[in-house]
Amino acid sequence: MSDNLVEDALGRALAYLRLAGLDADPALTRRALRLVDEMLEQGEDGLVERVMTALPERFPVPEPLEPMGAPPVHRGAIGYGVGR
Amino acid sequence: MSLAMTDPADAPTVPRWKAVAATRRGLLILLVLVQTLGGLYGMQSVLPYHGGNLLEKGILFLFAVLFAWISVGFWTAVLGFWLRRRGGDPYSLVRHYDAATLAATPLARTAVVMPVYNEPVDRTLAGLRATIEDLRATGELDHFDFYILSDSRDAEQWLAERSAWYRLCDEQDLHGRLFYRHRPVNLNFKSGNVADFLRRWGRDYAYMVVLDADSVMGGNTLTRMVRHMELAPRVGILQTSPSLINAHSAFARFQQFANRVYGPLFTAGLAGIQLGEAAYWGHNAIIRTDLFMRHCGLRRLAGFGLFKGPIMSHDFVEAAYMGRAGYEVWMEPELDESYEESPPTLVDELTRDRRWAKGNLQHAWLFFFAPKLRFAHRMAFLNGILSYLSSPIWLAFLILTSIEATRLTLWPIDYFPEQRTSMFPVWPEWHPHWAVGLVLSTLFLLFVPKFLAVLDVLLTGRRRQHGGAGRLFLSVCLELLVSMLLAPIRMLTHSRYVLEALFNVRLHWGGQNRTDETGWRQAFMSQAPGTLLAIAWSGLALWLDPMFFFWSLPVALPLILAAPTSVLLSRVAIGEGLRRRRLLLTPEEQRLSPQVDAIAAPRPLNAARLTAFEAAVLDPRLNRVHRALARRRRPVDREAHEQWLQRCMSDGPEGLNRRQLNALARDADALGRLHRAAWTAPRDSYWGERVGVVKSRDYG
């Protein structure tokens, strides 16, 4: 078994969760480690992919506020005016 | 409900300012005419044949235009000085209402819009953040919405803008109040960008405050402006006079100092002449949206060459159209806490001027052919045109005087010029004392306004704001020296721009550089033509007549020194060194100002170790944001799109061109697939390495 592979999978999982807004405390690290351990039972091949695919289901991350790029459009027109 | 919908025709009387403006303008024209005729008489006396041949007639004509031009500046400054000594202009808009009336006036819904185009993201949004925070401190933030209107073309740029915008929304708790709109097609430049905003959301707002990418405005100033607009329904545009801030390079600090010391006099004078028929400068102004939408659309010009196509410099035209519709445009120097930045280097200023020169010259078409414009706005066009046209006129004047000197030295005296009908010979006459007097009077017109400005600083007790009387005097001397060094460089470069504009050379519309210094190679390359020309000219002058050589030096020497001047002035170390010696100080450099502090060291909104595209792919929150705002349409060429996506998944974005990267960044499905692929990519692949960066604890 490659230690680097496991380390990489765990590192990715923790980085992903941190960026998604979860605090990387010891409890979270232990849960992530369990996930990697679980996925490793299915073999080394495709470990990272399985871990990253399972991550969203196993770790519900806080939903970012739906971005509102712009308010609803109230279409108007640009006029060219005339001299008085 | 806003008071904004009043028709000016319903207003009871002709405003009193109109009579005052007519008197002031009449007086200005009279003074300039008399002064120019006096100068012309002096110049005629200096010329050996007293304007008796074609060459001298040409010299006299060019001299008259230049003398009148500096005369206008002189009398504007004198009026500004007089008005400031009186404690301000009693006819200005801000004097119409007392503080109690103003404070009791309710605010109306206002959009603060910031058009951006390839600008430094953190600095730009730091200005907006400072404006928002200051408005929040007034307790009136709820009346304002904010729009970042991006015309940026590169995915890397607009993704960075959008990521930073989202983080700013989080930080300021302004989701649903602070908006970001990216326009993929930059139709009609900045005015098209603002027009696009107005078409979509203009009807939602009584007013629109337009900011530039380097603008910052105080909350109290913004609320005062809205209240003035509410109280004066005849006013269509209210323009502030922005102060320059946040200068670091020597060049920018000289501009900033000049702006703070001389600026108040000129803007007070200009505002006093224009009153309710002022110009709009394109930013740091409030606009009544319904009037603007009704009257200020810009048709494409229908002329030829330069005078055909979209209007490039839109602001003066929009002010003129607002005036034509019967509404007032005011520029109010007393509205403080309005800021912008100077270009950091001479090269950047001249790059910007290239665009402005073309835009201003284009106004000649409107000056002559636009119907029913007000006289003051036609004069504003003329002022803008002459700002650039005066350079080739000065250059032509130098060429003609050089020809005159050459002719007098090398050719025999012409006692019977062709135009002369008399049978008596014409004797060339020399009046050196007239020449000296003429030079002195020209210097008087150029420099007295600056001395008046310094006097104004001293009389209004502002000397400490500039480091005390001694430092102020020393700073003014330095500024005079630098402005004399820069004037011929600007003259020659502007002359080239005017020729390019007249021959309608196509321009690339680029964002402004606001940070970098000028390198020696770049400076020598850009200044070489002027330097060589000046060496040749002064060499010719020396060969002809040592006296002529000395006369040529004030113009030739700055051109010869143009490259080192440009490089040294661009240096931040020199600018900061001058600051440490308490030279060129401005008020904002000495006292704490939240707006200035906020942009001096902007808090970054984007993580530095990934590109914006990489962050949009890898960062789960940002990826979600960009996907939510991306298109969900199927790409036109699905096969090619899929190839770009596969290439990006395997090799990263570096192998893709701008169009391909834009296509992927705008596609929600592509961003989602890239996100999944990147996080599962092998460690030794492009995305695997970028995940390695993200894994480090200090990222994000």
**Do the domain assignments include residue A81?**
no
Among B371, B624, B679, the residue with its CB nearest the CB of A52 is B679
Alpha carbon of B151: minimum distance to chain A alpha carbons (Å):
15
- The mean pLDDT value for B398-409 works out to 88
B10 touches chain A (CB under 8 A): no
pLDDT tens-digit map of A16-51: 998 888 887 888 899 999 999 999 888 888 898 999
Q: Which of A7, A78, A82 to mutate to test the interface with B (most CBs of B within 10 A)?
A: A78
Alpha carbon of B476: minimum distance to chain A alpha carbons (Å):
46
pLDDT of residue B415: 66
Residue of A nearest to B691 (CA): A12
Whole-angstrom distance, CA of residue B473 vs CA of residue B580: 17
Residue B274: strand, helix, or coil: helix
pLDDT of residue B699: 63
Q: Give me the residues of B, 584-623, that contact A with CB < 8 A.
A: 618-621
* Residue whose C-alpha is closest to residue B488's, from B527, B442, B524, B453: B527
Alpha carbon of B179: minimum distance to chain A alpha carbons (Å):
5
Tokens linked to B265: 């006099």
Domain boundaries, chain B: 612-695
Among B201, B324, B691, the residue with its CB nearest the CB of A81 is B324
Q: Which of A5, A19, A84 to mutate to test the interface with B (most CBs of B within 10 A)?
A: A19
Q: Cα angle vertex B655, ends B652, B656, to 5°?
A: 95
Quick one: which H or E segment has residue B644?
helix B638-651
If pLDDT is split at 50, 70 and 90, which confidence band does B437 have? Answer: confident
Provide the pairing of β-strand B235-240 with B285-288.
antiparallel
- Please answer yes or no on whether B199 and A69 come within 8 Å at the CB atom: no
Helical axes B219-231 vs B121-138, angle rounded to 10° = 60
Residue B309: strand, helix, or coil: strand
**Do the domain assignments include residue A78?**
no
- Please answer yes or no on whether A79 and B683 come within 8 Å at the CB atom: no
pLDDT of residue B515: 54
**Do the domain assignments include residue A71?**
no
Partners of A67 on chain B (C-beta within 8 Å) are 166, 169, 175, 625, 628-629
Q: Are B329 and B276 in contact (CB under 8 A)?
A: yes
**Do the domain assignments include residue A52?**
yes
**Do the domain assignments include residue A73?**
no
Among A12, A69, A83, the residue with its CB nearest the CB of B679 is A12
Has residue B332 got a pLDDT over 80? yes
Has residue B354 got a pLDDT over 70? yes
Query: In chain A, how many domains are there?
Result: 1
pLDDT of residue A57: 85
Concatenated DSSP letters of B457-484: HHHTT-GGGGT-HHHHHHHHHHHHHHHH
The region that residue B262 occupies, defined by phi over 0 for left and psi between -120 and 50 for alpha, beta otherwise, is alpha
Has residue B265 got a pLDDT over 80? yes
Among B147, B203, B694, the residue with its CB nearest the CB of A19 is B694
If pLDDT is split at 50, 70 and 90, which confidence band does B138 have? Answer: very high
- ipTM score assigned to the predicted complex: 0.90
If pLDDT is split at 50, 70 and 90, which confidence band does B1 have? Answer: very low
Distances (CA, A) of B650 to B654, B666, B674, B688: 11, 19, 10, 10
Has residue B686 got a pLDDT over 80? yes
Nearby residues of B323 by Cβ (< 8 Å), 6 or more positions away: B236, B277, B329, B373, B374, B376, B377
B521 touches chain A (CB under 8 A): no
Whole-angstrom distance, CA of residue B594 vs CA of residue B601: 11
pLDDT tens-digit map of B189-247: 899 999 999 999 999 999 999 999 999 999 999 999 999 999 999 999 999 999 999 99
- Please answer yes or no on whether A19 and B324 come within 8 Å at the CB atom: no
Q: Distance from first CA to last CA of chain A, Å, rounded?
A: 86
**Do the domain assignments include residue A40?**
yes
- For chains A and B, count residue pairs whose Cβ atoms are closer than 8 Å: 109
Task: Tell me the percentage of chain B whose pLDDT exceeds 90.
Answer: 78
**Do the domain assignments include residue A15?**
yes
Distances (CA, A) of B604 to B37, B245, B481: 58, 20, 38
Whole-angstrom distance, CA of residue B493 vs CA of residue B391: 8
If pLDDT is split at 50, 70 and 90, which confidence band does B9 have? Answer: very low
Partners of A20 on chain B (C-beta within 8 Å) are 620-621
Tokens linked to B230: 């509410």
Whole-angstrom distance, CA of residue B243 vs CA of residue B246: 10
For residue B328, the cross-strand partners are B235
Whole-angstrom distance, CA of residue B313 vs CA of residue B333: 22
pLDDT of residue A84: 42
In which domain, by residue range, is A48 found? 3-58
Has residue B565 got a pLDDT over 70? yes
Q: What is the 3-state secondary structure (H, E, C) of B185-200?
A: CCCCHHHHHHHHHHHH
Residue B653: exposed, middle, or buried by beta-carbon count in 10 A (0-12, 13-18, 19+)? buried
- Please answer yes or no on whether B294 and A79 come within 8 Å at the CB atom: yes
If pLDDT is split at 50, 70 and 90, which confidence band does B357 have? Answer: very high
Has residue B7 got a pLDDT over 80? no
**Do the domain assignments include residue A66?**
no
Q: Distance from first CA to last CA of chain B, Å, rounded?
A: 45
pLDDT tens-digit map of B375-385: 999 999 999 99
